[in-house]
């Protein structure tokens, strides 16, 4: 009950699912209790340093921090693999808690080096604790969960920062001695929250953690070097590292600009501490609102690729403005505040969230190694690099006396910042693309498609012919010989087939071609001098059958045979039908095939259909098409028509489009067009897609899918496919709503049929998506959705989220998203309402 209430409150600000409420709140509080003390510490840090040492000494502080971070990373890497995650985090929190108490005492002593040590320590505090927080978030959530909740969890940091900043702003003037004990107290509460998280999530987190640690320990070279190597060897991690470098160098330069401008306008340590306190609080209030209200919607709407560009582009505009102002001889406090506020506000909201999302698809081993290198070391190294750039620039452009003395440097810094942002944007484009590839890589194809496997691996014609050959053994030696010859003609009389066919050869072997080959080739009899090469046999038979004299000799026989309707004459007609297939298509006797195709005996017709397939005469096409209506002959007629290839694409499309035609015939026409597989065939099928009723839509979609599978160069009309996706989704929703309409429960059979239809429609949607997006990716996404594990579904959705255009994504996500049934039905209802409701297919 309490959980439901909690969920109902949370669901107003975050897209949360049942069971996620408590962990979301705990992580929110964890982040809150490490950022609120940090923002008290940060205000004190800036104020004590600037008033004690001045802004010109800031590069020294940045540089010292960068150097020290190398040692911290090495140390952290080592203890990270030795300690369980829970102990590592709680130990770190306790360590920093004791440090705050120590600095409280040190500040009272008034020693000059304390502000420097405090600056460096404060940075280490922030980097270590924030990195550990995000490592835990990575342990707990998959990309979909993280995307949904990152806005809410991240807002804990902004709220903490606001509180910390306001407390620093108020207390810096009234009771500065209380700031550090207050920070320590907040951190102590953080320890309590983290303990509760591990108690609750203990088992799962520890399992993941153990696995990652085992991998790390197994690699036998844990430490700074290994963390560096892991990053260096992965192009993706290198991009992440590059982005981090660019971000922080820019941030450092902006930070200097801001501090320089502020210190020229605000005087006195307590005033500075108070200013920074209020400024930080204000910035974080902006970041909090941004994080809570805009981060998730921006990521959702613009995806990671688009969201990555927001932060650098805003800084680009702001820095450009400051540079122009400095060029005009103004030191602009308000623009400096705005750009710093944007920098910090976005850095701690959108940018941090997006960056953390970028880590999620990489393996735990890579993640932990690279994260400590990138987030801890590189973070500070970049600040150090920024410091070096600053130091060089301040050396080249020395500060002039007076409050406006920093103008020259500010101008040049703006230019450098703009150049680095350009590189940063480029890297963001690259990593956006790589992220999609990485998500794809996380999805394995679960199984090969059975229908396509049968097509690829089973030669249906060959199988039929072998069966016909075996079957004809007991019927007639002539028919048997003809079937064997057909195998030879098609180069399919392999040793295996000979062996198969020669099994049980007692009946008619002696008098047949089969006997000949069986004796000579299979070792069943002595090799004879009459051995006949297959090539000679093919040539001779062909030539004989095309002789005029042969046609004359056989004419009477065939006429008599065809006229004989006695039961015993069926085999003779089968032989005749088979023999005609060996003749040239212009041979006079081939005309007899029309009668044989219409023969009352399905067996005779079947042989005639096979011969029609071999001869490929257009005149036989209408009869073959009519045979599609006969269940006994449909498969043979279909195979025969397939062999005509692109020549009959137009004819097949006419049948497909003819609403007055037999439905089965129209379905088969779609199958034949699929096997023709040309662009023309695809176009005909696509034209029919829009108006296809329920009876035909599955076949047409399947046919298009087969064409796409066979030839990725074929193009499909995007608009038609989109409309059909939308239609299929609507019908899926309609079925889902009907199936789970509480007031009128469906009887079992109807319910099962509806379930089957839902499943077919979902598959149709993905087949259609595969026509306009990379098909392999769509199959992977579909299969992993069907597998239904939490991660397989999450990565499938992430893949779709990255690939699909917004309009398509908005339509199909209610159908594919991992939601409780009740929620899914609700979303389907909304979608149907959006569509205007109603079933449009087949009334």
Partner 1 sequence: MRIEARHKNDIVIFDLEGEIKRSDITDVTLHQLVKEQLDSGKRKIILNFDAVEFIDSFGVGEILASYISTHNLGGKLKLVKISKKLFLIFQVTMLTKVLDIYEEEETALKSFF
Report the interface residues with partner 1, using CB under 8 A: 477-478, 481-482, 485, 511-513, 516, 528, 530, 532, 537, 539-541, 543-545, 547, 549-550, 552-554, 557, 572, 575-576, 579, 582
In the complex, the smallest distance separating the C-beta of residue 504 from partner 1, rounded to whole angstroms, is 20
- What angle (nearest 5°) sits at the alpha carbon of residue 822, between those of residues 300 and 24? 50
Contact by Cβ (8 Å): 767, 705: yes
Q: Which is nearer to partner 1, 91 or 557 (CB)?
A: 557
CB of 492 to partner 1, least distance (A): 16
Shortest Å, Cβ 585 to partner 1: 17
**Pick 358 or 479: Cβ nearer partner 1:** 479
Structure tokens at 426: 């480029």
CA dihedral over 360, 365, 368, 370, signed as positive or negative = negative
What is the residue-wise DSSP string for 323-342? HHHHHTT---HHHHHHHHHH
Residue 506 Cβ vs partner 1, minimum distance, rounded to whole Å: 18
Task: Please say which residue, 415 or 544, places its beta carbon nearer to partner 1.
Answer: 544
Alpha carbon distance 381, 396 (integer Å) = 22
**Shortest reach from residue 576's CB to partner 1, in Å:** 7
Minimum CB–partner distance for residue 748 and partner 1 (Å): 58
Q: Looking at 401-532, which runs of residues are DSSP E strands?
A: none
Closer to partner 1 by CB, 142 or 481: give it.
Answer: 481
In the bound complex, what is the minimum distance in angstroms from residue 515's beta carbon to partner 1? Answer: 9
Q: What angle do CA 830, 834, 840 make, to 5 degrees?
A: 105
Task: Report CA-CA distances (Å) from 679 to 220, 279, 448, 650, 724.
Answer: 56, 64, 25, 12, 19
The minimum distance between CB 521 and partner 1, in angstroms, equals 13
Which residue do the tokens 């085992």 mark? 214
Indicate the residue among 599 and 699 with the shorter CB distance to partner 1: 599
> What's the rounded Cα separation, in Å, for the pair 648 and 242?
58
CA angle 355, 357, 358 (to 5 degrees): 65
Query: Alpha carbon of 640 to those of 370, 446, 461, 752, 779: distances in Å?
Result: 60, 34, 10, 36, 31
Q: Supply the minimum distance, in Å, between the C-beta of residue 650 and partner 1.
A: 36
**Cβ atoms of residues 343 and 431 within 8 Å:** no
Smallest separation, CB 566 to partner 1 (Å)? 16
Q: Shortest approach of partner 1 to residue 477 CB, angstroms?
A: 7
Q: Which alpha helices (DSSP H) does 628-747 contain, by range?
A: 634-644, 649-657, 663-676, 679-691, 694-710, 718-739
Q: Residues with Cβ < 8 Å from 302, sequence gap 6 or more?
A: 310
8 or 528, CB closer to partner 1?
528
Measured from the CB atom, the residue of 109 and 566 that comes closer to partner 1 is 566
Both ends of the chain: CA-CA distance in Å?
A: 44
Q: Kindly tell me which of 267 and 530 has the beta carbon lying closer to partner 1.
A: 530
- Closest CB to partner 1 among residues 538, 740: 538
What is the chain's percent helix, strand, coil content, to nearest 5?
80, 0, 20
Separation CA 843–CA 841 (nearest Å)? 5
For partner 1, which is the closer residue by CB, 240 or 482? 482
User: In this complex, which beta carbon is closest to partner 1, that of residue 334 or of residue 536?
Assistant: 536
């Amino acid at each position: 009950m309490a959980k439901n209430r909690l969920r109902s409150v949370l669901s107003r600000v975050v897209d949360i699912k049942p069971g996620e409420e408590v962990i979301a709140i705990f992580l929110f509080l964890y982040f809150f209790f490490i950022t609120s003390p940090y923002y008290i510490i940060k205000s004190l840090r800036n104020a004590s340093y600037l008033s004690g040492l001045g802004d010109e000494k800031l590069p020294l502080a940045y540089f010292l921090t960068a150097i020290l971070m190398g040692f911290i990373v090495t140390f952290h890497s080592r203890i990270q693999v030795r300690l369980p995650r829970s102990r590592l985090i709680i130990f770190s929190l306790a360590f920093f808690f004791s440090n705050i108490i120590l600095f409280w005492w040190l500040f009272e002593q008034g020693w000059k080096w304390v502000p420097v040590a405090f600056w460096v320590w404060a940075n280490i505090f922030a980097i270590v604790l924030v990195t550990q927080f995000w490592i835990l978030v990575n342990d707990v959530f998959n990309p979909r969960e993280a995307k949904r909740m990152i806005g809410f969890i991240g807002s804990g940091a902004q709220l903490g920062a606001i509180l910390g900043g306001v407390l620093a702003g108020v207390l810096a003037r009234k009771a500065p001695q209380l700031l550090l004990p207050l920070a320590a107290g907040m951190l102590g509460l953080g320890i309590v929250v983290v303990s509760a998280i591990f108690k609750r999530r203990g088992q799962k987190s520890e399992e993941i953690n153990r696995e990652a640690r085992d991998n790390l320990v197994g690699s036998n070279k844990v430490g700074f070097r290994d963390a560096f190597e892991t990053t260096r060897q992965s192009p993706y991690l290198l991009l992440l590292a590059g982005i981090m470098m660019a971000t922080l160098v820019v941030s450092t330069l902006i930070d200097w600009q801001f501090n320089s401008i502020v210190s020229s306008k605000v005087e006195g340590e307590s005033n500075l501490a108070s200013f920074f306190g209020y400024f930080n609080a204000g910035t974080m209030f902006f970041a909090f609102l941004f994080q809570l209200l805009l981060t998730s919607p921006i990521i959702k709407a613009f995806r990671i690729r688009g969201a990555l560009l927001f932060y650098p582009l805003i800084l680009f505009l702001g820095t450009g403005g400051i540079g122009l102002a400095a060029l005009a001889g103004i030191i602009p406090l308000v623009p400096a505040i705005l750009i710093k506020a944007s920098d910090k506000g976005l850095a701690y909201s959108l940018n941090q969230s997006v960056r953390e999302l970028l880590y999620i698809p990489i393996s735990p081993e890579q993640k932990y190694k690279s994260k400590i290198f990138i987030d801890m070391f590189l973070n500070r190294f970049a600040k150090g690099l920024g410091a070096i750039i600053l130091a060089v620039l301040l050396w080249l452009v020395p500060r002039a006396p007076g409050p406006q003395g920093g103008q020259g440097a500010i101008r040049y810094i703006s230019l450098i910042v703009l150049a680095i942002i350009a590189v940063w944007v480029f890297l963001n484009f690259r990593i956006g693309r790589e992220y999609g590839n990485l998500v794809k890589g996380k999805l394995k194809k679960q199984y090969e498609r059975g229908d396509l496997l049968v097509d690829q691996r089973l030669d249906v014609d060959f199988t039929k012919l072998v069966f016909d050959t075996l079957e004809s053994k007991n019927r007639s030696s002539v028919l048997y010989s003809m079937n064997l010859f057909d195998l030879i003609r098609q180069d399919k009389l392999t040793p295996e087939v000979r062996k198969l066919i020669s099994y049980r050869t007692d009946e008619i072997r002696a008098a047949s071609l089969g006997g000949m080959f069986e004796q000579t080739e299979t070792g069943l009899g002595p090799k004879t001098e009459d051995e006949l090469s297959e090539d000679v046999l093919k040539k001779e038979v062909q030539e004989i059958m095309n002789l005029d004299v042969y046609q004359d000799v056989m004419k009477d026989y065939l006429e008599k045979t065809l006229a004989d309707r006695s039961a015993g004459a069926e085999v003779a007609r089968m032989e005749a039908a088979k023999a005609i297939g060996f003749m040239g298509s212009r041979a006079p006797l081939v005309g007899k095939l029309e009668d044989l195709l219409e023969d009352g005996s399905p067996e005779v017709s079947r042989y005639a259909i096979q011969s029609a397939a071999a001869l490929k005469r257009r005149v036989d096409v209408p009869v073959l098409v009519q045979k599609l209506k006969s269940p006994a002959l449909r498969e043979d007629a279909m195979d025969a028509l397939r062999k005509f290839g692109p020549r009959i694409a137009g004819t097949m499309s006419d049948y497909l489009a003819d609403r007055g035609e037999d439905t089965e015939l129209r379905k088969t026409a779609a199958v034949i067009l699929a096997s023709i597989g040309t662009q023309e065939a695809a176009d005909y099928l696509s034209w029919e897609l829009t108006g296809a009723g329920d009876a035909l839509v599955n076949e047409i979609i399947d046919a298009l899918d087969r064409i796409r599978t066979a030839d990725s160069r074929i193009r499909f009309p995007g608009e038609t496919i989109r409309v059909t996706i939308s239609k299929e989704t609507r019908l899926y929703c309609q079925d889902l709503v009907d199936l789970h309409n509480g007031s009128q429960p469906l009887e079992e059979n109807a319910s099962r049929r509806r379930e089957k239809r839902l499943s077919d429609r979902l598959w149709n949607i993905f087949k259609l998506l595969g026509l306009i997006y990379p098909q392999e990716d769509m199959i992977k996404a579909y299969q992993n959705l069907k597998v239904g594990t939490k991660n397989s579904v999450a990565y499938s959705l992430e893949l779709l989220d990255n690939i699909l255009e917004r309009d398509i994504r908005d339509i199909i996500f209610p159908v594919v998203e991992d939601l409780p049934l009740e929620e899914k039905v609700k979303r389907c209802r909304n979608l149907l309402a959006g569509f205007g409701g109603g079933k449009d297919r087949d009334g």
